[in-house]
Structure 1
Amino acid sequence: MRRAAGDSGSQLSHYFANKESLVRAVVDWQAESVLGFHRSERFAGFDTIQAYQEWADFVVVSGRPFENGCSLGSLASEIVKTDLDVRDDLTRIFAEWRDIFRAGLERMQYDKRIDASADPARLAHMLIAPYQGGSLLAQIARDVAPLRDALYAAVEHLRVYTTSDDVV
């Protein structure tokens, strides 16, 4: 962290009271990046199957899984091993991410574009989990196939709940 900031430990301590506050700031910064991306207009609120397909396509084509996996997931996996009390922060952030997907699925359900039997919260988890696991496997293998296959399978599962042909 000091190397990236170009500051000494004493300079960082000027801005952060302790290690936990520094880690929280890093988590918040990374979360804002991930959540902001998912809240952008690029995917139109995730209220069409096409938006989820475009998201999966973007993630697969972007090549990011080969760098560090999912930036938020990788950070979280390192932090939970520590004694820092940030688990609630991470839980909240992943819930916000899930809720972006859930809200789009609920709109689709309200508009009767997906079946009433669909569980938006469960389906939202079903989108994040393959992203996390697929990113890790892609990073390890240096091959996008695990991520691509997991995300495309998740989107295909969403299609099972579509109620009209116009929801591609």
Structure 2
Amino acid sequence: MAITSESPARVRIIQAAADLFYVKGVNSVTLDDVRAASGTSKSQFCRQFADKDELVRSVIELRAQQILERDRQHLERMSSFRALERWNDSIIHLNSLRDGAHGCALGALVGSHAPQDPAARNLLAEKFGEWQELIAAGLRRMQENSSLKEGADPAKLALSVMAALQGSYLLAQMTHDVEPMRIAMDMALAHVKTYTVG
């Protein structure tokens, strides 16, 4: 369910938690922090969420919705290597605005909470799968229009791009510098380019 169809109080809580989790990390944020940031009382919070695990899963849904909607603008129409480069440039530009300080909004939820919550881990795997499939579908379109070699495996290439993206988010976050991300993604796309035609 889209967050916009939720109750106003629930939306406020999810959005406040998403912002706090992104900057401070899930494990460092208490429910009191979330209530204070969202301007909700304990009773209001309890009417919306059974516990922190349920809140985290709602934040995963929100972040995935935001990322997928953003990337669909580039990837759903992707049918050339240049389009893949434009998507890559947009990702790097967005992260450069924060000096790479906080990493991937969805990936940040993996290491901090998912190991303790199988439902969150499964949800994250599903959302990363959807994200990766957007890339793979674009590569398949390239194959259909003969700009990607017939022998290329779009699923494996998409996985390699996603792995580079998540690793480079982490490197940028550690150094507060987007340059490691730029280098890693350039190399990942250079690998994809070896399978292009022309």
Q: TM-score, normalised by structure 1?
A: 0.89
1:81 to 87, 101, 115: 115
Are 2:77 and 2:138, in contact at CA under 8 Å, matched by a contact in 1? yes
After superposition, where does 1:3-18 map in structure 2 within 5 Å? 3-18=36-51
Counting only pairs closer than 5 Å after superposition, residues 94-109 of structure 1 correspond to structure 2 as: 94-109=128-143
Q: Tell me which residue corresponds to 1:53.
A: 85
User: Within the alignment, does 1:22 sit opposite 2:52 as a pair?
Assistant: no
Q: Partners in 2 of 1:67 and 1:14 — Cα distance? A: 34
Match for 1:2 among 18, 31, 35? Answer: 35
Q: Which residue identity is paired with 1:20?
A: D
- Alpha-carbon distance in 2 for matches of 1:37, 1:161: 26
The residue number in structure 1 matching 2:160 is 126
More RCO (CA 8 Å, sep 6+)? 1
Is the CA contact 2:75–2:138 (under 8 Å) kept in the aligned structure 1?
A: no
In 2, Cα distance between the equivalents of 1:117 and 1:65? 38
Map of 1:88-167 to 2, 5 A cutoff?
A: 88-164=122-198
**1:33-89 Cα shifts (integer Å, max 9, x gaps):** 11111112x455232111111122222222146231011101222122324532111
Contact 1:137 1:146 in 2 (8 A): yes
Share of identical aligned residues, percent? 36
Gaps of 5+ in 1: none
Question: What amino acid is the match of 2:50?
Answer: A
